Amino acid sequence: MSATAAAAPAVPAALAAVLPARFLGWGMAVPSTVVTNRDLEAVLDTSDAWIAERTGIRQRRAAATGDTTAALAVAASRVALERAALDPAAIDLTVLATMTPDSTCPATAATVQHQLGTAGAAFDLNAACAGFTYALHVGAAGLATPGIDHVLVVGAERVTSMVDPTDRGTAILFGDGAGAVVLGASEQGSSGPGLLGVDLGGDGSGVASLHVPPGERYLRMDGPEVFRRATRAMVESCAAALARSGASPADVDLFVPHQANARIIEATVSRLGLPADRVVVNLDRYGNTSAASVPIALAEAADEGRLRPGAIVLACGVGAGMAWATTLLRWGA
């Protein structure tokens, strides 16, 4: 038996990929500018201790003038394509999850496609912080279409551009960045890597709790309401995705939640009964990067060796809308 096979986690026989997809490459990119809690103390009525205790965040990255959403997406995608050892022209579909496009028209994905030299279709998808998990479902489903063999799925955000720097309720939370994965068609069918179960949903009654009001520039948030809704949605969506996959929390090798708030993550982990050492948490360094949150966490986990072939991963995003999206997937190329 090879060393790789020996190291691979045991996979429950009942777990079948409903959307087969190989994970060929991954990458991330963040701006170079670091904004610490101490930096925010100088301009806001807050403190490092207060922010860290309430959110778990200690610093975040802020985009400079040249760090457009497209630029961040391209940087992360180039790393993913290099890891996949794939020529950009082999990409047949590019799905960019973002709520901060560089322009209202055309889609920022068009700029990403042009700068990378990818082929095929390209479009943006806006489901706020749930965007990447939505896009991952769309990308995996796209592989079932004749003529689509490789898909680039990206989450990229410049959230600091829509945050009021004088509002301590939002300015402390958000950061900028991008993450990407390259998906490939699988010949292994349901027994190979891919999405094992998906739960997508939304509750439009919560729109006003986190939104940019019409005609305004900045994000407005009802913090307690968002916390309540997000915690409930994350727990229920994760439970639904597990149930649809025929899996239990014990089958999960790694939980990759949206990095919004440490307390939300802790509550979810506790209610689902997941071991703390199987959870990816990096919001202390990046803050809430919206649709970039889950792919950045995935990329870091893969770089750190926490994602072995065959690993069962539970990924969940919850955000404005209120939208949620969870997938249970089997990692591997």
User: Residue 107's closest CA among 66, 135, 141?
Assistant: 135
**126 flagged as catalytic:** no
Q: What is the DSSP letter of 283?
A: H
192 and 186 Cβ atoms separated by less than 8 Å: yes
Alpha-carbon gap, residue 330 to 16, rounded angstroms: 9
62 and 82 Cβ atoms separated by less than 8 Å: no
**150 flagged as catalytic:** no
Catalytic residue among 37, 129, 137, 150: 129
User: Residue 179's closest CA among 101, 291, 70, 93?
Assistant: 291
Catalytic residue among 150, 261, 288, 316: 288
Torsion of CA 272, 274, 280, 281, to 10 degrees: 70
Listed in sequence order, the DSSP H helices in the chain are: 3-7, 37-41, 48-55, 69-83, 108-116, 131-142, 168-171, 223-245, 262-272, 283-286, 293-303
Residue with tokens 């792919």: 295
Catalytic residue among 37, 150, 238, 258: 258
**316 flagged as catalytic:** no
Active site residues: 129, 258, 288
